[in-house]
C-alpha cells in the first residue's frame, strides 16, 4: 500500500512538528489511509517539552525519501544452489521467464549468476573448441537425476568427475578400436540395445555405461557391470537426447559469471541507474549489510513508480524539504511562508495562507470540516501556534491566529500565556547544545536567483547565554557557511521576552556592506523590534541581496 508521509522542513521547529502530527491526524479522520507524520531532523528541548506535555510520541524520523533499491526490488528471489544441474537451472529460468539466475549458497550469499548467454556458449562451443562438446563434468547421481534415469548399479555415485562422452553407434570392431584410444575410467558410453557394444564397454571397464531408449538390459549384463565396477544407468530418452542432457548435468557452479554487479538495498536509484544501464546483465542481486541476497533488481524495476507520497507542511521550497522530495509524488502543501521555486508535474492541493503558523491552518481544517479534534492534537496545535507567533506577539500574527488560539484553549483547558512561559523556559539551545548544532537547529536554506543562503533563528529569554558564547557562535556560523557554499549565512537570536533580536551574518563583504542596522560587534547587529524571520528579517535580507 502507498505510504503518505506528512512532513515538515529540515531542521524542524515546533510548528513544523506539531502541524505534521496534526495534519496527519486530520487526513486519517477524513478517510486517507496509511498516513504517517514524519520529520527529517532532530527534535530539541522545547519540542520534546511539547510532546511530553501532551503525551504524543515524536514523528517518525525520515532522513531521505529518495527512491531506493529496496523500494522497487523484487523480494521473491528465484535462485538455485551451486550443485544444481544446468538443465534444472534452465528449466527454472524457462518456467519463470527470467534470463539471469542467482546461485546462492546455504547462507544466501551469491556465488555468481547463471545467464542464458553463458549457458549457450557451453552447449554450443566455437569450432576450435569442438572437443568441449563431448566433455561431461558431473557426478553419477547428478547425471542420473538429469536423465530422469534408472540407476542399476553405481560406484562412488557422488564424486564429481571430468569425463568424456562416447556414442556406441558403430560396428563392434570399430568401437573396440576407438575404445582402446581412451582412458576407460574417463569414458561415458551411450548406446542403445546393442548387447555386443554393451559387453565391450563393460569389459573395457568404462566409468559409466548409459543404455538409451528406455530399454532394459539382461541380468548377465547387470552382473557383468557389477563385477567390473562399471556404473550402469538406463535412460528413457533416445541416444541424441541422452547425449545433450548428459552435458547439461554439469553443476551450475562451473558456469557462473563472477563479474556481476550487486547493489545494497539502501542505495539511491538515481545514483546507480547509469551503472545498471551500461551493464550487460538484466538483473542484479541486492544485498543486505551481511552480504546476504534479499532481493533482485532488474533494469525494468527502474521504471516502477515508488510507493511513497508526501504532504509538505510549513514549507514549500525543495531547498528546505527532506532530501529526495523532488523525486517522489507530492500530494499537498500547507504553508504560511513565501512561495518559493516549487513546481510539480501534476496539479496538487496547495494551501498557502498569510497567518502566523501552519498549526493555525491545520486547526482551521478541523474546525471548517466539523471534524472532531482530539485533545492531545489540539494541545500540539496550540503549542505550534504560540511558538511560531510568540504567543500572538509576533508581527506575523493575524486575527485568524487569535480566533483559532482561543478555540484551542477552550478545547484543551490550557492557558496559552502560562504555557508559553513554560515552553520558552524549558530549555536554552545555547546552553544545552554545541554551537554548531545551535546555529543549525532551526535553519532554512533559500535560493534567490543564482545565490543560495541560509537563515537560522534561536529564541531565548534574554541574551545572557548568547553573549557568553558569542565568539564561539560567530565562528560556527562562518564554518557552516563555508561548508555549504552559501553566499551568506545569517542567524537571528531573538529575546522573546523583550521582543528584540541580534543578527549575526557571515558572508561576502559586498553583502554585509548593505546591512545598515547598528553593529554592536563585528558581524553582530542590533535589530530592535525585529522578531520574525519570515515577515521582517527575510524581506530585509532579500533587499540587501538585490543591492549587491
Longest dimension (CA), the chain: 115
Q: What percent of the chain has pLDDT over 90?
A: 73
pTM above 0.85? Answer: no
Structural contact between residues 265 and 69, judged by C-beta atoms closer than 8 angstroms: yes
417/434 same-domain check? no
Domain for residue 414, yes or no? yes
Q: What is the pLDDT of residues 420-453, one digit of tens each?
A: 989 988 777 888 788 998 888 889 999 998 999 9
pLDDT at 130: 45
Strand pairing class (60-61; 35-39): parallel
Q: What is the pLDDT of residues 277-316, one digit of tens each?
A: 998 888 899 999 899 999 999 999 998 888 889 999 999 9
Mean pLDDT of the chain, nearest integer: 91
Q: Which of 373, 402, 424 is the last residue of a domain?
A: 424
Query: Which of 27, 21, 25 shows the shortest CA–CA distance to 39?
Result: 21
CATH code for the domain in which residue 538 is found: 3.10.310.20
Structural contact between residues 129 and 121, judged by C-beta atoms closer than 8 angstroms: no
Cell (9 digits) for 199: 559387453
pLDDT at 128: 53
The average pLDDT across 462-480 equals 93
When pLDDT is cut at 50, 70 and 90, the band that residue 131 belongs to is very low
390/490 same-domain check? no
Q: What is the DSSP string of 381-447?
A: HHHHHHHHHTTTTSTT--HHHHHHHHHHHHHHT--HHHHHHHHHTS--HHHHS-HHHHTTTTEEEEE
pLDDT at 428: 77
d(CA 293, CA 300): 19
When pLDDT is cut at 50, 70 and 90, the band that residue 125 belongs to is low
Q: Which of 393, 424, 455 is the last residue of a domain?
A: 424
Domain containing 47 equals 3-66+307-424
b/e string for 8-43 if b means 16 or more Cβ within 10 A? bbbbbbbbbbbbbbbbbbbbbbeeeeebbbbbbbeb
CATH code for the domain in which residue 36 is found: 3.90.1640.10
451/512 same-domain check? yes
Q: What is the pLDDT of residues 492-547, one digit of tens each?
A: 999 988 889 999 999 999 999 999 999 999 999 999 999 999 889 999 999 999 99
pLDDT at 254: 87
Query: Which of 205, 247, 250 shows the shortest CA–CA distance to 226?
Result: 205
When pLDDT is cut at 50, 70 and 90, the band that residue 11 belongs to is confident
413/444 same-domain check? no
Which long-range contacts (C-beta less than 8 Å, at least 24 apart) are formed by 460-463?
460/424, 460/428, 460/429, 460/430, 460/493, 460/494, 460/495, 460/496, 461/424, 461/425, 461/428, 461/495, 461/496, 461/497, 462/495, 462/497, 462/498, 463/493, 463/495, 463/502
412/434 same-domain check? no
DSSP-based three-state secondary structure for 52? helix
398/370 same-domain check? yes
Number of structural domains (the chain) is 2
Q: What is the pLDDT of residues 221-254, one digit of tens each?
A: 999 999 999 999 999 999 999 998 998 898 988 8
DSSP-based three-state secondary structure for 517? coil
DSSP-based three-state secondary structure for 133? helix
**Main-chain dihedrals φ then ψ at residue 128, nearest 5 degrees:** -80, 0
Cell 517522489 sits at which residue?
328
445/536 same-domain check? yes
Query: Which of 486, 536, 76, 101 shows the shortest CA–CA distance to 295?
Result: 76
Domain for residue 387, yes or no? yes
Q: How far is CA 135 from CA 111, 117, 138, 186, in A?
A: 23, 19, 10, 10
Domain for residue 56, yes or no? yes
Q: Which of 424, 452, 470 is the last residue of a domain?
A: 424
pLDDT at 191: 95
409/457 same-domain check? no
Query: Which of 368, 449, 378, 374 shows the shortest CA–CA distance to 414?
Result: 378
Cα dihedral sign, 236-241-243-249: negative
314/420 same-domain check? yes
Question: 3-state DSSP: the chain helix, strand, coil percent, rounded to 5?
Answer: 40, 25, 35
Amino acid at each position: 500500500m502507498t505510504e503518505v508521509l506528512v512532513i515538515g522542513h529540515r531542521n524542524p521547529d515546533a510548528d513544523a512538528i506539531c502541524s505534521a502530527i496534526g495534519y496527519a491526524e486530520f487526513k486519517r479522520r477524513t478517510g486517507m489511509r496509511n498516513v504517517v507524520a514524519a520529520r527529517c531532523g532532530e527534535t530539541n528541548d522545547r519540542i520534546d517539552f511539547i510532546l511530553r506535555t501532551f503525551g504524543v510520541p515524536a514523528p517518525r524520523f525520515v532522513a531521505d525519501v529518495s527512491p531506493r533499491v529496496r523500494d522497487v526490488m523484487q523480494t521473491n528471489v528465484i535462485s538455485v544452489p551451486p550443485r544444481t544441474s544446468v538443465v534444472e537451472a534452465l528449466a527454472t529460468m524457462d518456467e519463470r521467464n527470467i534470463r539471469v539466475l542467482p546461485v546462492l549458497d546455504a547462507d544466501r550469499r551469491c556465488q555468481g549468476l547463471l545467464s542464458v548467454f553463458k549457458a549457450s556458449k557451453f552447449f554450443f562451443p566455437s569450432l576450435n573448441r569442438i572437443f568441449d562438446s563431448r566433455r561431461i563434468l558431473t557426478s553419477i547421481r547428478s547425471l542420473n537425476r538429469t536423465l530422469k534415469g534408472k540407476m542399476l548399479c553405481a560406484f562412488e555415485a557422488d564424486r564429481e568427475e571430468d569425463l568424456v562422452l562416447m556414442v556406441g553407434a558403430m560396428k563392434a570392431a570399430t568401437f573396440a578400436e576407438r575404445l582402446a584410444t581412451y582412458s576407460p575410467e574417463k569414458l561415458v558410453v551411450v548406446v542403445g540395445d546393442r548387447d555386443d557394444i554393451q559387453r565391450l564397454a563393460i569389459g573395457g571397464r568404462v566409468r559409466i555405461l548409459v543404455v538409451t531408449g528406455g530399454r532394459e538390459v539382461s541380468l548377465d549384463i547387470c552382473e557383468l557391470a557389477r563385477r567390473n565396477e562399471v556404473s550402469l544407468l538406463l535412460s528413457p530418452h533416445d541416444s541424441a537426447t541422452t547425449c545433450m542432457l548428459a552435458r547439461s548435468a554439469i553443476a551450475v557452479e562451473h558456469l557462473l559469471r563472477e563479474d556481476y554487479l550487486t547493489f545494497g538495498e539502501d542505495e539511491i536509484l538515481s545514483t546507480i541507474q547509469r551503472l545498471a544501464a551500461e551493464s550487460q546483465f538484466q538483473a542484479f542481486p541486492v544485498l543486505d549489510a551481511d552480504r546476504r541476497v534479499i532481493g533482485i533488481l532488474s533494469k525494468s524495476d527502474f521504471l516502477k513508480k515508488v510507493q511513497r507520497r508526501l504532504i509538505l507542511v510549513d514549507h514549500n521550497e525543495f531547498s528546505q524539504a527532506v532530501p529526495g522530495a523532488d523525486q517522489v509524488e507530492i500530494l499537498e502543501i500547507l504553508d504560511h511562508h513565501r512561495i518559493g521555486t516549487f513546481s510539480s508535474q501534476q496539479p496538487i492541493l496547495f494551501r498557502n495562507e498569510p497567518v502566523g503558523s501552519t498549526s493555525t491552518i491545520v486547526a482551521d481544517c478541523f474546525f471548517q470540516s466539523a471534524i472532531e479534534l482530539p485533545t492531545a492534537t489540539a494541545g500540539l496545535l496550540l503549542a505550534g501556534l504560540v511558538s511560531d507567533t510568540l504567543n500572538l506577539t509576533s508581527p506575523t500574527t493575524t486575527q485568524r491566529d487569535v480566533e483559532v488560539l482561543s478555540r484551542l484553549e477552550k478545547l484543551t483547558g490550557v492557558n496559552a500565556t502560562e504555557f508559553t512561559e513554560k515552553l520558552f523556559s524549558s530549555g536554552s539551545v545555547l546552553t544545552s547544545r554545541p554551537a554548531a548544532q545551535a546555529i543549525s537547529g532551526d535553519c532554512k536554506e533559500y535560493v534567490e536567483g543564482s545565490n543560495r543562503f541560509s537563515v537560522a533563528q534561536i529564541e531565548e529569554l534574554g541574551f545572557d547565554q548568547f553573549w557568553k558564547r558569542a565568539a564561539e557562535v560567530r565562528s560556527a556560523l562562518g564554518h557552516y557557511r563555508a561548508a555549504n557554499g552559501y553566499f551568506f549565512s545569517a542567524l537571528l537570536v531573538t529575546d522573546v521576552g523583550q521582543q528584540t533580536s541580534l543578527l549575526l551574518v557571515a558572508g561576502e563583504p559586498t553583502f554585509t556592506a548593505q546591512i545598515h542596522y547598528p553593529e554592536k560587534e563585528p558581524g553582530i547587529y542590533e535589530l530592535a523590534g525585529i522578531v520574525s524571520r519570515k515577515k521582517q528579517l527575510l524581506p530585509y535580507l532579500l533587499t540587501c541581496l538585490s543591492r549587491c
